[in-house]
Every structure is written in C-alpha cells, then in structure tokens.
Amino acid sequence: MDDILSLGGRVALVTGAGQGVGRQIALHLAAHDCGGVAVNDYFQERAEAVVEEIKAAGGKAMAVQADVTDFEQVKAMVARTAEELGPVGVLVNNAGNMGANPPQEGMGKPFWEVGPQVWNAAIGVNFYGVIHTVSAVVPGMIARQAPGRIITIISDAGRYGDAGLEIYGGAKAGAAGFTRGVARSLGRYGITANSVAIAATRTPATVRMFSDPERMKRQFERYIVRRPGEPTDIANMVLFLASDASSWITGQTYPVNGGFTLAL
C-alpha cells in the first residue's frame, strides 16, 4: 500500500529545528519521501547534529543557520535551500519561545512593567519570524506549480489566554490569524496553510517544569490526557498536514494539547 503520508518528494524547511519539537518534525518529514529537509537553527551546531541524524537514517538534509527575525537572513536561507535541495514545498514555522537571545532584564515581570525590548523578543520570533519565512518561500512555491504546504506552530496561549504570557500569546494568535489569511490568498495556487496549537510539551525549554512532581500534578489537573506532550505528538500532526492526506484542509488551527482546551 502506498504511504498516505508521503510528501511526494517535496523539499521541507523547518525553522528552529535544532532541538525539541522542531528536531522531531524534521526527522518525521525526512522519513516520508521528502526531497530533503533544510534544518534551520540560530545555532549552526544544533542544526548540523539533526542533519547527521537524518543522514544516518538514509534521508537527505542540510543545515542552514539563520535568525528568523532578520528578513535578509531568511531570504538568504531560502535561496540557499533552493540552490542545494530545490524550492521549498513544505514550510514549518516552528521557531518560537523568546527567540535565540532572550532579554536578561524584565523576564517574568508583568508586561506593563517592562518595555519593547521584552515585548519585541516574543513578537519578533513568533510573529515577524512567520511573516518573514512565508514571504520568502511563497514566490518559489507558486513558481513550482505544485501543491505546497505551510504549517505554523502556535501555542494554546494564543487560543486560551494565559496570565503572564500576554505578549507571547498575542504574537502566537497573530501568527495564527496571519496563517488563515495566507490560506485564503494562496489556495488558488494549490498551497494550503494551517496552524498547530500545542500546550505543555517535553522539550529542553521545559525540563525544569517537568522535574518537579508536585508542579507536574498541578499542571496536568486541567488536562484530559494527564501527561506532557511529546515532540512526536506534534510531529505526527505536522506530517499529516504536510502530506497529500490533508490536501482538502486549509485555514485551520489544530490543537495538539492533551485536551487542555477543546476545539469547537
């Protein structure tokens, strides 16, 4: 039986893929007839480590360092990917959190007690980063005259609203709204655009949170499935949305969150 999750030889670009969820997404895509995976990370060595994993499993990949908050770097990254692997047919906007270099001052304080330096760290990577990458890949996607996939990783903070995460949640909500608009604009070219909203997931950034049993218990009392998300949980959904199995799905936001929030 044919692989219904096959990417049909499309080249994929995954941002922030040097660890955690992005790493697993890159590994998933590489294993399903991907024409090659461009593994992006701010830190070159992390991207190269994931590329080695993909190659060891028989896949094709390249490491490409870039800061997604810098549009010129993003354009250069997309051009290099096209030159070495081919035009991007699957874009996964995964880079997030507070960016590669979070501000040292003001973190953890109410947003009204800090200023643009802290706000822009969240907005830059989670909102402008998505605009930058989509803007850079769309011309090549259209020129391919073949189905394209855009997938944006957001957070339930952007759907549910979390105290203390107002700017981050607002940036993620903006990315989701932008992705819905992109879906309407690009559908005529056979390009779909969807978002995946995630909740508490086990990644290097959440190690400390998951190391405290009492904190874990309190955290997951609000979840239907009372365990942390794993990178594989998110990668499974991304693979589906990147494949032809999802060819009639666009403009949607899919919660992969253990039932923390429910989709209506």
Active-site residues, by number, are 168
8 A C-beta contact, residue 156 and residue 144: no
Phi, psi of 14 (to 5 degrees): -120, 120
Q: What backbone phi and psi angles, to 5 degrees, belong to 92?
A: -115, 110
State how far the Cα of 119 lies from the Cα of 215, in Å rounded to an integer: 27
Sheet holding 88-93, edge to edge: 61-65, 36-41, 11-14, 88-93, 148-155, 191-198, 253-256
Bridge pairing between strands 88-93 and 11-14 = parallel
